[in-house]
């Protein structure tokens, strides 16, 4: 049975025993200091936190905080000295040379030991901070001394991070970094632990900087600079360009990894600059221009990955991209020069040294005898096509490199375009070659291709066309080639023709293609006219012509054949065919005049040979020649002079057409004596024994596909004359609008407006201005530096 509680008696709570003035401070400190040592020795499990806190509280409360603070520091110093001697100094590395692995292991042991001492010390200081919390709150503020934690860091800095431990510590960290740079594996966590310690301690010299920043980082950067300066030279001597770039990129990655894992992030930027200065900037030109492995080789071998690496690295330094652009431009120009040299150096009847002209027409202009050489003309055309195709291939390669390796950098794109512009315009025949390339593709090169493939080919051609500075020269050649395609119905696709025209209009504007579109319009109108003419003949009571006639009426201002027609005595049967059409046309279009151009026409004629009939397609001049043999026996001859007198053809035209009929693949005439060349003393007869497997035969006129030196000069003279008129018209338009302009402003404005057709010479502009002043379109002002427009 439980006893009942006693009533009327209240329990008393005894207050804790106070350490008043009657309690000895020495006794209190003795107890507290003993307990602090136990804490530092990791024997705090049996200690009372409340009791130790009370000891510290009373010492501060009764104005003995200085004894407590000094005593705590002395005990901590004593402990740090013991730890330094037993756990750090005892493991100082003893291997200074020889076995690098042994040395690395000793350095690692030192780093681990110091980190352990740091961890031990910080753990102890956190415990002391708990029991000395009242001292930190009251005494340290009054006495203006660091709190327990800060005092512990300061003591660690002064007792541990000092000589000789500091020297060995820095040496160990730097040796481990160097060891890793040489390709070995290290314990990164050990290095990181010590680096973190140094980042946690403020420098004695500058409290705003850590020990790492003040003492270790400068030494690290100096050693890194010395290492990479030597390493860059070694790599340059032992590696080719791809290997050098690969190793340099690997160095950048390793240093970035090193900074990320155990160095300060702030060290990354100065380290990056060191690598850039000594591995890139110092060797840019040498690396990119290495023989058999530099930029040229990388492009030739399609090393897109290596090129991309080169771009990434060069783009990291200020001088890298300019160096890459400069070298790339030199490479493209060199390749372009080789293409030009290969094209223009072949004996094709054109080139820089045109001592002999192999075109039959041009030869006749200089001599009375011509040497028509079909292989030379074909080779000239092939050379023009090869030149453009090689340029397109080079452009495709550079575009691929630009996209795949150079990250489609717009600055590099501008360099590529500038280089190709220089290459293209360094060939005096560039405009003619490009026009021939387009002409060949629109005549036969696009057969069997889809619309998408056709568009790709035309777009590539326009790419080269963009680089032309003298687009008016191209316009003249393109008009000639287009005219021949339209007149001879040689175009593969009308859609392709109009697609090319649309692309030219986009590039150069409506004015550039206005006449070209007029040519297409004439073809359409001529087809309608011929249908009306045939209806007229069917309704007429007059006898029908014996020859079926097809006429294309060309507007003189649209077509390039505006010169007077070549002289030719047409046979009566041809005149009887043309006169009815001429009467019909002029009756419908009063005020117009027709000028026949037989040199541009062709004819289909059926010829009877001994074996069978053959349908021949020949030029109109060739038909005129063949009709001379219509009434002759097989054994009868006509001399060259007799044919010339009967036809009145110029020697150049006569020789070309006689060679086509008597010396080419299909010899419907016999030449006496037989040879490949037509001479003025030759004679000709009809080849009645001619045979061929084909019923329909096209006899092409032998002619030069590429202009010879004299023809080129004539073309250039005509272009120069046109440019004079264009320049004057441009000046007048500008001055009519502005009324008054200074000379320099006028020249600049004229140059800008004419740049889409050609690059006008300032001297030519000045001469045109003088001419307009003489004709009173302009007047020079009194200052002699500006002009007024005269209405």
Which pLDDT does position 357 carry in this prediction?
31
Which pLDDT does position 344 carry in this prediction?
66
Which pLDDT does position 153 carry in this prediction?
93
Which pLDDT does position 510 carry in this prediction?
81
Would the pLDDT of 121 be above 90?
yes
- 646-673 average pLDDT score: 88
- Structure tokens, 699: 């006899």
Percent with pLDDT over 70 in the chain: 90
Angular region, 493: left φ>0, alpha ψ -120 to 50, beta rest: beta
Percent with pLDDT over 90 in the chain: 37
The residues near 287 (Cβ < 8 Å, ≥ 6 apart) are: 236, 241, 244, 245, 294
Which pLDDT does position 364 carry in this prediction?
36
Confidence band of 373 (pLDDT split at 50, 70, 90)? very low
Burial per residue of 141-162, b for 16 or more beta-carbon CB atoms within 10 angstroms, e otherwise:
eeeebbbbeebbbebbbebbbe
Which pLDDT does position 708 carry in this prediction?
62
Between 764 and 343, name the one with better pLDDT.
764
> What's the burial of 603, exposed, middle or buried (CB within 10 Å: 0-12/13-18/19+)?
buried
Q: How many CB atoms lie within 10 A of CB 323?
A: 19
Handedness of CA 536, 538, 539, 545 (dihedral sign): positive
Digit-coded pLDDT (tens) for 259-298: 999 999 999 999 999 999 999 999 999 999 998 889 999 9
- 721-733 average pLDDT score: 84
DSSP letter at 563?
A: S
CA–CA distance, 179 with 185 (Å, rounded to integer): 8
Would the pLDDT of 87 be above 50?
yes
- Structure tokens, 346: 């072949």
The residues near 487 (Cβ < 8 Å, ≥ 6 apart) are: 552, 600, 601
Between 352 and 694, name the one with better pLDDT.
694
CA–CA distance, 167 with 215 (Å, rounded to integer): 10
Phi, psi dihedrals of residue 201, rounded to the nearest 5°: -105, 130
Digit-coded pLDDT (tens) for 414-473: 999 999 999 999 888 888 899 988 888 888 766 777 778 878 888 888 888 889 888 888
Q: How many CB atoms lie within 10 A of CB 548?
A: 10
Which pLDDT does position 23 carry in this prediction?
57
Confidence band of 372 (pLDDT split at 50, 70, 90)? very low
**Chain-centre distance for alpha carbon 250:** 26
Place of tokens 């020297």: 167
725-733 long-range CB contacts below 8 Å, 24 or more apart?
A: 726/472, 726/754, 726/757, 727/754, 727/760, 727/764, 727/765, 727/768, 728/768, 728/771, 728/772, 730/754, 731/765, 731/768, 731/769, 731/772, 731/778, 732/772, 732/777
DSSP letter at 150?
A: H
Strands 786-789 and 613-619: unpaired
> 771: closest CA among 741, 728, 738, 739?
728
Among the residue ranges 68-72, 114-118, 360-364, 703-707, the one predicted with the least confidence is 360-364
Domains with residue ranges and CATH for the chain? 25-162+189-201 (1.20.1310.10), 320-349+358-525 (1.20.1310.10), 526-596 (no CATH), 599-698 (3.30.230.130), 709-789 (1.10.10.10)
- 378-404 average pLDDT score: 89
Which pLDDT does position 15 carry in this prediction?
57
CA–CA distance, 296 with 41 (Å, rounded to integer): 70
Q: What is the pTM of this model?
A: 0.76
Rg (alpha carbons) of the chain, rounded to whole number:
49
Confidence band of 88 (pLDDT split at 50, 70, 90)? very high
Digit-coded pLDDT (tens) for 496-550: 888 888 888 888 888 888 888 998 899 899 999 999 988 888 888 777 777 888 8
- 241-264 average pLDDT score: 94
Confidence band of 392 (pLDDT split at 50, 70, 90)? very high
Among the residue ranges 482-486, 539-543, 686-690, the one predicted with the least confidence is 539-543
Would the pLDDT of 375 be above 60?
no
Angular region, 570: left φ>0, alpha ψ -120 to 50, beta rest: beta
Digit-coded pLDDT (tens) for 306-347: 999 999 999 999 999 999 999 999 999 999 999 988 876 543
CA–CA distance, 249 with 287 (Å, rounded to integer): 14
| CA angle at 440 for the pair 450 and 488, rounded to the nearest 5° | 100
CA–CA distance, 356 with 309 (Å, rounded to integer): 51
Q: How many CB atoms lie within 10 A of CB 405?
A: 23
Between 139 and 25, name the one with better pLDDT.
139
Residue 743 and residue 778 in contact, taking contact as beta carbons nearer than 8 Å: no
Mean pLDDT of the chain: 85
- Structure tokens, 613: 């009939």
- 223-227 average pLDDT score: 95
Q: Which helix (H) or strand (E) holds 671?
A: strand 669-672
- Structure tokens, 377: 């003309």
- The length of the chain in residues reads 791
Would the pLDDT of 348 be above 70?
no
Residue 240 and residue 290 in contact, taking contact as beta carbons nearer than 8 Å: yes
Among the residue ranges 439-443, 489-493, 496-500, 761-765, the one predicted with the least confidence is 489-493
Confidence band of 475 (pLDDT split at 50, 70, 90)? confident
> 494: closest CA among 461, 463, 524?
524
- 575-585 average pLDDT score: 87
Direct distance between the N- and C-terminal alpha carbons of the chain, in angstroms, rounded to an integer: 140
What would the 3-class secondary structure string for 88-127 be? HHHHCCCCCCCCHHHHHHHHHHHHHHHHHHHHHHHHHHHH
């Amino acid at each position: 049975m439980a006893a009942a509680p006693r009533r009327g008696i209240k329990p008393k709570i005894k207050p804790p025993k106070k350490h008043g003035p009657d309690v000895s401070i020495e006794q209190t400190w003795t107890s507290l200091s003993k307990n602090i040592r136990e804490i530092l020795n990791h024997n705090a499990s049996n200690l009372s936190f409340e009791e130790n806190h009370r000891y510290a509280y009373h010492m501060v409360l009764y104005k003995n905080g200085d004894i407590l603070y000094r005593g705590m520091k002395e005990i901590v110093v004593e402990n740090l000295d013991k730890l330094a001697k037993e756990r750090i100094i005892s493991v100082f590395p003893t291997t200074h040379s020889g076995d690098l692995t042994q040395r690395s292991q000793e350095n690692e042991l030192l780093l681990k030991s110091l980190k352990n001492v740091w961890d031990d010390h910080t753990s102890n200081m956190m415990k002391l901070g708990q029991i000395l919390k009242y001292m930190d709150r009251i005494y340290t503020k009054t006495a203006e001394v660091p709190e327990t934690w800060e005092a512990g860091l300061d003591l660690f800095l002064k007792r541990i991070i000092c000589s000789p431990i500091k020297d060995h510590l820095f040496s160990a960290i730097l040796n481990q970094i160097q060891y890793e740079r040489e390709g070995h594996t290290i314990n990164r966590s050990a290095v990181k632990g010590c680096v973190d310690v140094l980042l946690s301690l403020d420098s004695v010299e500058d409290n705003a900087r850590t020990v790492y920043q003040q003492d270790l980082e400068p030494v690290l950067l100096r050693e890194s600079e010395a290492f990479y300066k030597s390493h860059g030279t070694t790599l340059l001597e032992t590696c080719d360009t791809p290997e050098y770039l690969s190793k340099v990129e690997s160095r950048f990655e390793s240093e970035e990894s090193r900074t990320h894992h155990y160095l300060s992030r702030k060290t990354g930027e100065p380290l990056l600059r060191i690598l850039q200065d000594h591995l890139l900037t110092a060797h840019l030109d040498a690396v990119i221009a290495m023989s058999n492995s530099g930029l040229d080789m990388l492009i030739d071998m399609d090393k897109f990955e290596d090129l991309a690496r080169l771009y990434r690295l060069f783009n990291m330094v200020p001088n890298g991209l300019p160096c890459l652009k400069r070298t790339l431009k030199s490479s493209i120009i060199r390749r372009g020069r080789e293409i030009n040299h290969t094209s223009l150096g072949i004996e094709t009847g054109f080139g820089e040294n045109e001592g002999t002209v192999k075109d039959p027409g041009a030869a006749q202009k200089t001599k009375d005898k011509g040497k028509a050489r079909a292989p030379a003309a074909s080779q000239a055309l092939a050379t023009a096509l090869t030149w453009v195709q090689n340029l397109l291939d080079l452009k495709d390669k550079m575009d691929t490199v630009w996209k795949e390796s150079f990250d489609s950098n717009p600055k590099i794109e501008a360099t590529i375009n500038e280089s190709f512009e220089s290459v293209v315009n360094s060939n005096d025949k560039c405009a003619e070659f490009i026009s021939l390339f387009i002409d060949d593709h629109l005549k036969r090169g696009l057969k069997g291709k889809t619309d998408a493939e056709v568009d790709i080919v035309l777009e590539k051609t326009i790419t080269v066309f963009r680089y032309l500075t003298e687009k008016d020269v191209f316009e003249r050649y393109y008009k000639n080639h287009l005219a021949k395609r339209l007149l001879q119905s040689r175009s593969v696709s009308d859609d392709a023709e109009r697609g090319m025209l649309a692309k030219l209009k986009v590039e150069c504007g409506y004015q550039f293609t206005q006449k070209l579109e007029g040519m297409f319009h004439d073809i359409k109108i001529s087809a309608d006219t011929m249908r009306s003419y045939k209806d007229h003949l069917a309704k007429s009571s007059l006898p029908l012509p014996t020859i079926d006639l097809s006429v294309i009426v060309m507007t003189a201002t649209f077509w390039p054949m505006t010169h007077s027609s070549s002289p030719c005595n047409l046979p009566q049967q041809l005149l009887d065919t043309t006169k009815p059409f001429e009467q019909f046309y002029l009756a419908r279009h009063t005020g117009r005049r027709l000028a026949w151009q037989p040199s541009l026409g062709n004819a289909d004629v059926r010829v009877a040979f001994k074996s069978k009939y053959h349908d021949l397609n020949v030029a109109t001049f060739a038909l005129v020649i063949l009709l001379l043999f219509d009434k002759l026996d097989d054994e009868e001859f006509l001399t060259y002079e007799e044919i010339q007198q009967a036809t009145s053809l110029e020697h150049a035209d006569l020789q070309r057409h006689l060679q086509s009929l008597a010396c080419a693949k299909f010899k419907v005439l016999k030449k006496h004596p037989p040879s490949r060349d037509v001479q003025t003393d030759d004679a000709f007869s009809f080849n009645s024994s001619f045979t061929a497997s084909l019923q329909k035969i096209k006899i092409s006129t032998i002619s030069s596909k590429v202009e010879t030196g004299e023809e080129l000069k004539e073309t250039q003279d005509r272009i120069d004359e046109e440019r004079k008129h264009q320049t004057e018209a441009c000046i007048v338009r500008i001055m009519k609008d502005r009324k008054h302009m200074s000379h320099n402003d006028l020249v600049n404005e004229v140059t800008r407006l004419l740049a889409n057709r050609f690059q006008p010479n300032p001297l030519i502009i000045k001469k045109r201005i003088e001419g307009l002043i003489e004709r009173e379109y302009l007047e020079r002002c009194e200052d002699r530096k500006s002009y007024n427009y005269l209405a």
